[in-house]
Amino acid sequence: MFPLQLLTLLFITTTGNVVLKRGDLLEVPRTLFIHFGIYLGGGRVAHFIPDILPLVSKDRSRIGKMVTNGRLILGVLAKCGSVRVDSVDDFAYGSRILINSMDKVCSRPPLQAEEVAQRAERLCGDVTYSLLWYNCEHYVMYCRYGTAMSFQTFQFCKTMRKLVLSRFVAKVTALLGACLLFYLRTVNTWSILLAVLLPFIIWMAS
């Protein structure tokens, strides 16, 4: 029974009433978005998180501590991040953990649990962070499903498109351009081009 007990200790963890297994995709709400990670076993989670501290300090003990919201937000702005391994508690940051909920959303089946965990471990280290093009969700989606994508990013871009690239915005932009030309009483090639081209681009993209 000892080998079985050892495997259970290493790869299966019980958090409250929740059982975590190696290769599970974990998600927790954090600040303005949902944060994702891959469970490695032994109470450890690999996750890609923005962090400003590595840019301003070489103290590994400080960097290794839990990433606070302040460090996280500044890391987003500086596009600095890393795939790191933290405890389940540090990863959760006091929030409730959801397990493998992406399995219901993603059209691709998850990879084998061990392959998921190994992918997560291989990618550990400093990585350039991008809120839109490579964030924590891209990381876990690649590890678990083999495709780097982000539903949060997709929804954000879809919302921004509705807000910015709409016919209403095109009409308002055209009206503001005409008012600006009238107010400045300056008509030249560049001003006309700006007043006409910008609304036209927004109109065609809407």
Which residues are CB-neighbours of 57 under 8 A, at least 6 positions away?
63
- The rounded distance, in Å, linking the Cα atoms of 167 and 199 is 9
Please list the residues that pair with 13 across neighbouring strands. 20
Q: Is 136 a catalytic residue?
A: yes
Q: Quote the tokens at residue 100.
A: 């493998």
CA-CA distances (angstroms) from residue 49 to 151, 165, 166, 180? 17, 31, 33, 44
Q: Which of 76, 66, 29, 75 is nearest to 45 (CA)?
A: 66
Q: How many CA atoms lie within 13 A of 179 on its CB side?
A: 6
Report the first-to-last Cα separation within the chain, whole angstroms: 64
**Which residue among the candidates 124, 136, 157, 179 is catalytic per the annotation?**
136
Q: Which of 22, 14, 27 is nearest to 39 (CA)?
A: 22
Just list the catalytic residues. 136
